[in-house]
Chain A
Amino acid sequence: MKILMLGWELPPHNSGGLGVACLNLSKSLAKMGADIDFVVPYEAEHHLKYMNVLSAMKIDPLIRYGGAYESKEIEVKKFHKTDTKQVLSIRDIQKSYCEFVERYLMDFKPDVVHAHDWLTYEAGILAKKQYGIPLVAHVHATEFDRGGENGGNPLIHEIEYQGLIWADKIIAVSQATKNIIVEKYKIPASKIDVAYNGWTSPDDDYHYDGSSYQYLENLKKKGYTIISTVGRFTLQKGLFHLMRAAARAISFHPKMVFLFAGDGEQKDELMRMSADLGISQNVIFTGFIRGKQLRDIYSISDIFVMSSVSEPFGLTALEAAHHGNALIVTKQSGVGEVLHSILRYDFWDEDKLAGALVNIAESPALVDSLRDGIKHEYARISWDDVAKKCVEVYDEVRKHKRNRF
């Protein structure tokens, strides 16, 4: 089966969970015999044996988000035939991406187009409209998630809506995401299947040597509990609530340190807030980290908090679990639907979060139960199962196509 995957990023050029999910899903699909062409908007070497990675444009991976995430002038190294005008915004990049897909479809006719998130939906719609190729829209996040407690960008809403309307079938990464698609976009529930993201244990030889964060190691020896959160500092992540809960917890149990790993538009405000609350001594900002440094953060911390206002899935929670953290996750996070050995709270319930933090910090029996429990749970969630689900969906949309054309 020939699959045209439309994506926006693949590791190591990823800013978050989307790229990781796309890579692992493709790997499992290839194992099941799928022949995959994977389109990314930027130019970079991906040495992957199991699929072809196609670059839609000759731009650097760093600037694929155009004006959406940064305001720097975009440098265009070399143009494809289609990239004839200067690329300035994310809309321009999307347009060029579409043109690339259009040219691809003149030569190749995949059985299914599998599009990941709104950035690629226009290209998916094009394939569907012009060539009748069945379209599967994979929703890793909606604009309602990204917008946090605000509404989000109306243009993105429109693109997302069109993509979901045109799609023959939609795959949502959690029931929570499916509910948003049904409630906000009024898409019939029968058109949406839920496929939770999977987990692949890293196969490298990482081991924690305690060298990265000596200061934190020393605090731990003095009886401090280390609590971490990892992600972009945006509205979606609910970090203000976490900060206020941290202050409440520290007032009750002072031996706590909170690690905020990541970066984003709320960073300055979060720092100011920690000072206003009088807990800047107990709050550490690591900046954006990846690789060993990130894994050392997971290794050193005792508790991982996912404070998201709306989190379609939440891969970082599984990563934290893999490194032996007890998890506290909002009820608005999809990952909570597949894990049981966790504590859950509503993102606004700062009191409950604070209480849970103190209780875990003070009760070894609770920490052990959470850690032991989660060990048996996260590893069971497999990408092969997600791939199986996708193949079922592919078969369904292809049958559907034969009936119609």
Chain B
Amino acid sequence: MRSIVLYLHMHQPWRLKHYSIFSVDHDHDYWTEKDWYAGTNNERIFKKVAEKSYRPMLAILEKCINTYAGFKFSISITGTWLDQAEKWEPELIETLKRLVKTGRVEIVAETYYHSLAFFYDREEFEAQVKAHQDKIHKLFGVKSQVYRNTELSYNNELARWADEFGFKGILAEGWDKILEWRSPNFVYRPEGCKNIKLLMKNYRLSDDVAFRFSDKHWKEWPLTVDKYIQWLEAATLRGPLINLFMDFETFGENIWEDTGIFKFFEHLVYRWDRDKDNNFLTVSEACDAAEPTAEISMPWTVTWADTERDLSAWLGNSMQHEAMKSVYSLKNEILASGDPKIIEDWRRLQTSDHPYYMCTKYFNDGDVHAYFSPYDSPYDAFLYYMNALRDMRGRLDGITRRKK
């Protein structure tokens, strides 16, 4: 049997508005940008992406679920995405509920705030994983069993944590430096773990769709379903599982509809489903399907980002370190305040998109357009972020004074 394990990731951050030093201590709303067309207007962006990607792609996924009895997929949805959808596009959540109810769509666990908390504060990290599980249970009535960490970041320590926490499986990038001669198409066991299983992204076949599909300079362009199915079938000679992990927004937002990406997807599902040697599996089913082939060790952190596959886009310069150190250093006082509004603001500031906007490493390769940011520069991103933290500091002091 040849299996496609399709996993999609859905996320939107709460972008911080252009929060000036002169706003500190009197404007405590960091998230509502008044200018509709500003790059930091969260509502406009959510609605735009809903229009271009969430709505049409969910419609196609639902159609495939209803048409092809064998079609299944997995999806992770961050808490910040869910909160914004509830506010601005609630019918997206209704669609997701219908999909989950079919039993053929599995929800993957992660941190509620799409944060890097694992690398800074284990206690806060666990609180966010639990908050996400609660939210998923409340909305969809299911308990997630497989874990993925922010930006698919992964190391041995994370695997051991997820094992002890009781997850059945964990997802990671199938990076060559880790796999070496091995294939990503098998189930593995993270080093030093008893029960948990590791699924690794087939990055070549995933990125053929997620990055190269619309690239006219690619020698394989245009990518047809026939050609892609040949590649998938050839790949299964090295193991039965094709782990296709990608951003949900690949469909419609990163790669626009006029490239034919939606039709490609629909036709791919149809073609794969009609061959009786093929099937689709959710991530849990893939974990259950086989015993681990071997142990895999990742002593250092690997992500699904950039050619380096590390955290350097988030934690590569002194501003990013300073920002993260500063936000986590507020933890005790924030939690002790018991003020739900300030706790929520603080957690939104942990979203990994914030340090990402402060990334400067692309200056070295001159590839300025490789990174998307709603700010003029990484320095502006840092400046607004630190101003918001200053304001948080002031709010905390105010709360302490009132208590006394």
Contacts and interface: CB of A to CB of B under 8 A. Distances in A.
Interface in A321-354: 340-344, 351-352, 354
Given A252-B22, A351-B22, A352-B20, A373 B383 contact: no
A86 interface: no
Interface in B360-395: 360, 363-364, 368, 376-377, 379-380, 382-383, 386-387
Q: Is the interface of A mostly helix, strand, loop or mixed?
A: helix
B363 A369 contact: no
A373 B364 CA distance: 9
Given A351-B20, A355-B21, A363-B386, A340 B380 contact: no
B313 interface: no
A368 B363 contact: no
Nearest to B376: A344
Contacts of A366: 319, 379, 382-383, 386
A378 to B, nearest CB: 12
Q: Is the interface of B mostly helix, strand, loop or mixed?
A: helix
Interface string B343-370: 0000000000000000010011000100
A354 B22 contact: yes
Given A352-B20, A354-B22, A359-B387, A373 B322 contact: no
Contacts, number: 63
Contacts of A340: 360, 363, 368, 377
A359 B387 CA distance: 8
Contacts of A359: 21, 383, 386-387
A355 B22 contact: yes
A352 B383 CA distance: 11
A350 B53 CA distance: 39
B282 to A, nearest CB: 43
Interface in B316-330: 317-319, 322
Contacts of A352: 18, 20
Contact of B319 (A252, A343, A344, A369): A369
A356 interface: yes
Contacts of B380: 343
Contact of A365 (B18, B318, B368, B377): B318
Nearest to B319: A369
A261 interface: no
Contact of A341 (B18, B22, B360): B360
A103 interface: no
Interface centre among A343, A359, A370, by most B CB within 10 Å? Answer: A359
Nearest to B22: A355
Interface in B184-235: none
- Size range of the chain B interface in the assembly: 20 to 34
Contacts of B383: 343, 355-356, 359, 363, 366
A376 interface: yes
A248 B382 CA distance: 21
Contacts of B386: 359, 363, 366
B21 A369 contact: no
A365 B363 contact: no
Given A351-B20, A369-B382, A376-B363, A343 B377 contact: yes
Contact of A355 (B20, B322, B363): B20
B364 A376 contact: yes
A369 B317 contact: yes
Contacts of A354: 21-22
A358 interface: yes
A395 interface: no
Interface string A360-394: 00010110111011001100000000000000000
Interface centre among B21, B363, B387, by most A CB within 10 Å? Answer: B21
A248 B386 CA distance: 19
A376 B362 CA distance: 13
Interface in B1-45: 18, 20-22
A358 B21 contact: yes
A252 B382 CA distance: 19
Contacts of A351: 20, 22
Given A352-B20, A354-B22, A359-B387, A341 B318 contact: no
Nearest to A356: B383
Interface in A111-131: none
B318 A368 contact: yes
Contact of A369 (B18, B364, B379): B379
B150 to A, nearest CB: 23
Contacts of B360: 340-341, 369, 373
Contact of A252 (B18, B21, B322, B368): B21
Among all A-B residue pairs, the 5 with the closest Cβ atoms: A365-B322, A355-B20, A340-B363, A359-B383, A355-B21
Interface of A: 248, 252, 340-344, 351-352, 354-356, 358-359, 363, 365-366, 368-370, 372-373, 376-377
Given A359-B21, A366-B383, 7 more contacts: A340-B360, A340-B368, A341-B363, A343-B380, A351-B20, A359-B383, A359-B387
